[in-house]
Structure 1
């Protein structure tokens, strides 16, 4: 039985974005919040059918449809032509999906795979919300934001880089599993000075792993004394799994090594130190969890946006950042041992990191999406901090 008086109960929304965890997981967080606010809503994810979409969405209980799309930026003539053909095919498939599903709002999470769906939504007169996770917006959202009814950004500095009528600084949505882990853990134990508590390092290179980080770790384990009792939890991606496992085993290090962790929040919770890329979703998750980090930005990220994502935390003393070119095995080992022996510094980093988190970001974005879906917006341009 539906609760009376909730005008949002029957909204229909399409959520679309690039096929990486950085686009998918914030979309899931928004979907969770929409379901909580409007239990009768109908939601459809649309993407390219990437491995992470196939792995995560069915388990989360969300309907999913696949379209064809491919990035164009930085491609040669032949690859660019192929990408344009895929984009056209994606537009036709997206049009059929929109006509059939009849969404009240289309929520674009960025990435090239969101382009066909958002373009069709614009052509078919559908209401559009764009979500930008990075401090430096990607090319897709820079182009599509001018057609959106509302844009939600994670970083205040991103607002001025988008051509949008209405922009709200909401923060980057984080999944409920992370928020529950924060509640369960209470005050983070990271940074406590008792050496008897042990020391756990969580190494994660994003949903697809990070070869540069993996190589530095395997080379650096030789510099870490086994007697320190440091435990490692390492998400490697598929390609480097065997190599990394062998390295931990050969050095006698206690470790949990997997290509991908579905229960990321659990591993974040027990970590004393996190070594990771600086994708927007990773930054949002560690700030909500209050975890001190060493960021190693992906050097191939578009416009070096991962460096921009990490900079605010580094400037606040909540994290350290090391370029991949300087993240050698020796540097990895030295920083791990340093922090294992200086828990008080970690405690301060943890406190500052948590202060920068926005755990209610998903609720904020969902509030905007529901307002747009129900037509409760005016035509006046607006830039605001969303509450």
Structure 2
């Protein structure tokens, strides 16, 4: 009996950024552990992540993101997506997957739309508290929807009827990091601060965090050990500020072991993308979250609000994220270990460490229909 006869075949479709690829990766690990064959359909940006993605084969399809209202740009985007759908149609005819699973972003559109047109069962995973534009476009066409949040804003009754709450799948290294219990800082001891802004870093973190730490009293500055992800052009100035104020700091453009660093942190300062919030919740670490302010759907605000309502985070709008405000929050939290421990517990209460397995269950149910 050949492999296809004895095991389902799942095509996972995800845009080439960590926010989409990480949960897709977690699902793929869970499916492969059950003997399922998995391929990945994505765009050219995923080349950076490709060697680590647990797929039999990766298929690059044309895609483009719809930005702005310029008629020429819209026409080019539609043409590129149309080409992607045509290529995806041909690919699906050759591969014949049992189900196609999309994780959002415009690179999801060609394979999921082509699968729908071919009558192949489809699943969408929505990571945020507000459904993204690509998923909104596809949602009425798919067989089932999985959600990271118990409530997704703006869903119709028809969409809610085919939606299952699974949580946001996290990678195995996140599950491993979650085994490390939170140990709040002791009086006079070190305070490990982790700062990052998503897969590409965030300039606002380099603008605000070093300046905020410079405002702290000298005894507190001496206790702090900073690990900060920064854009390449911001690294030198962040390092110079920390060195000038005697603050121990490691600053780099990328950390491949970020889940382990989250586990070692007493406090995290970050954006609030869906994967970031999911990992903070599963690992259970207190955070100060600064949602991306200009997102069309304000999805990061919804994500941060969810974690804040669980008691695991402080949400600060970017307009209020000033050195003085951050310094005040850091001074208060550093003096209140019990509050930090409570926030860690609140974050963990919102986590879904079994999300990958729940999503795998849903995907295989849909594949059998």
- Structure 1 pair 178/8, CA: closer, same or farther in 2 (3 Å)? farther
- Structure 1 pair 95/212, CA: closer, same or farther in 2 (3 Å)? same
Shift of 1:21: 1.5
Conservation of the 8 A alpha-carbon contact between 1:173 and 1:362? yes
The residue number in structure 1 matching 2:38 is 43
Q: Does 1:167 align with 2:126?
A: no
Q: Distance in 1 between matches of 2:344 and 2:294?
A: 28
Conservation of the 8 A alpha-carbon contact between 2:115 and 2:122? yes
The residue number in structure 2 matching 1:266 is 260
**1:133-152 equivalent positions in 2, closer than 5 A:** 133-152=127-146
Conservation of the 8 A alpha-carbon contact between 2:11 and 2:101? yes
Aligned residues: 364
Q: Distance in 1 between matches of 2:308 and 2:6?
A: 42
Q: Does 1:23 align with 2:17?
A: no
Shift of 1:196: 4.8
1:304 counterpart (294, 298, 301):
298
Q: Does 1:359 align with 2:356?
A: no
* Residues 26-45 of structure 1: per-residue CA shift (max 9 Å, x gap): 11111111111x22x22111
Conservation of the 8 A alpha-carbon contact between 1:18 and 1:47? yes
2:213 counterpart (221, 240, 264):
221
Shift of 1:158: 1.2
RMSD: 2.1
Q: Distance in 2 between matches of 1:333 and 1:146?
A: 46
Q: Distance in 1 between matches of 2:237 and 2:44?
A: 28
Question: Normalising by structure 2, what TM-score?
Answer: 0.93
- Structure 1 pair 150/324, CA: closer, same or farther in 2 (3 Å)? same
Moved more, 61-70 or 155-164: 155-164
- Structure 1 pair 365/356, CA: closer, same or farther in 2 (3 Å)? same
Conservation of the 8 A alpha-carbon contact between 1:142 and 1:161? no
Moved more, 16-25 or 279-288: 16-25
- Structure 1 pair 344/119, CA: closer, same or farther in 2 (3 Å)? same
The residue number in structure 2 matching 1:383 is none
- Structure 1 pair 374/307, CA: closer, same or farther in 2 (3 Å)? same
Instruction: In structure 2, list runs of 5 or more residues that go unmatched.
Output: none
SS in 2 for 1:256: strand
Conservation of the 8 A alpha-carbon contact between 1:213 and 1:327? no
Q: Distance in 2 between matches of 1:94 and 1:286?
A: 35
**1:107-126 equivalent positions in 2, closer than 5 A:** 107-126=101-120
Question: Normalising by structure 1, what TM-score?
Answer: 0.89
Q: Distance in 2 between matches of 1:107 and 1:239?
A: 37
Conservation of the 8 A alpha-carbon contact between 2:310 and 2:349? no
Q: Distance in 1 between matches of 2:218 and 2:58?
A: 46
Shift of 1:157: 1.6
Q: Distance in 2 between matches of 1:277 and 1:90?
A: 31
SS in 2 for 1:114: helix
Moved more, 226-235 or 168-177: 226-235
Q: Distance in 2 between matches of 1:56 and 1:251?
A: 36
